[in-house]
Amino acid sequence: MDPFSSLIRTASHEQHVEAETSTFMTDLLGGRLGVEAYARYTEQLWFVYEALESTAGGLAADPVAGPFVRPELFRLPELERDLTRLRGADWRAGLSALPATRAYADRVRECAERWPGGYVAHHYTRYLGDLSGGQIIRDRAERAWGFPRKGDGVRFYVFERIPNPAAFKRDYRALLDGIAADELERQRIVAECRAAFALNTGVFRELGEEFELSA
């Protein structure tokens, strides 16, 4: 039988391609959108990570989700520094979640409160992605909008406390393989991972509508 880390990866592969090639992401990474679109996207991430990280403490002792809760992954302080650069010191005043973002954050919170396995699905979908493709986004953002390399504006993509992301990802996959969940629960987690990708695509869709390029 395939290890769980392979299973979850394969199961979300198609949706990964869909997210990567969404109109908003392609336009953003293709340099066709302004820094305003990047700022709006960063604001949406704030809501998602607020849901993931404000609930993490309560899961630290959980046998299923606990092993995944690693403070070196936390992104909220970095997002807040980025938003200060992007929006100014009073960034909180103008912060607003798109409906798709609200739905995404609500689902994360619901899993954190009621279903640790579901929380793991959301944790995997965000943090393993940030440790991978996130580096591509950082590079483009630095070039397009002139942020200091790995500095304010792109700190979200910089894991200062994870010097070797490849090794970290290997350990993370080993944690997934050993997750305290039976076969049925593993299937449910995979399904939630697909749902997590769909929630991300939903946010991209709404961002795409807000930042439509004129033909």
Binding-site residue positions for heme b: 9, 16, 124, 173
- Rounded to whole angstroms, the Cα distance separating 82 from 25 reads 19
- In the three-class reduction of DSSP (H, G, I as helix; E, B as strand; rest coil), residue 212 is classed as coil
Q: Mark the segment that binds ligand HEM (CB under 6 A) among 12-20, 94-102, 111-119, 182-190.
A: 12-20
The answer to whether residue 122 forms part of the interface with ligand HEM (CB under 6 A) is no
For the record, the structure tokens of 4 come out as 């769980």
Minimum CB separation of residue 29 from ligand HEM in Å reads: 6
Contact 86, 42 (CB under 8 A): yes
The answer to whether residue 207 forms part of the interface with ligand HEM (CB under 6 A) is no
The answer to whether residue 101 forms part of the interface with ligand HEM (CB under 6 A) is no
| Distances in whole angstroms, Cα of residue 98 to Cα of each of 7, 20, 31, 203, 210 | 31, 20, 23, 7, 10
Residue from 3, 31, 113, 132 touching ligand HEM (CB under 6 A): that is 132
Beta strands in the chain (DSSP E): none
Minimum CB separation of residue 138 from ligand HEM in Å reads: 11
N- to C-terminal Cα distance for the chain? 49
Interface ranges with ligand HEM (CB under 6 A): 9, 16, 19-20, 25, 29, 124-126, 128-129, 132-133, 136, 197, 200
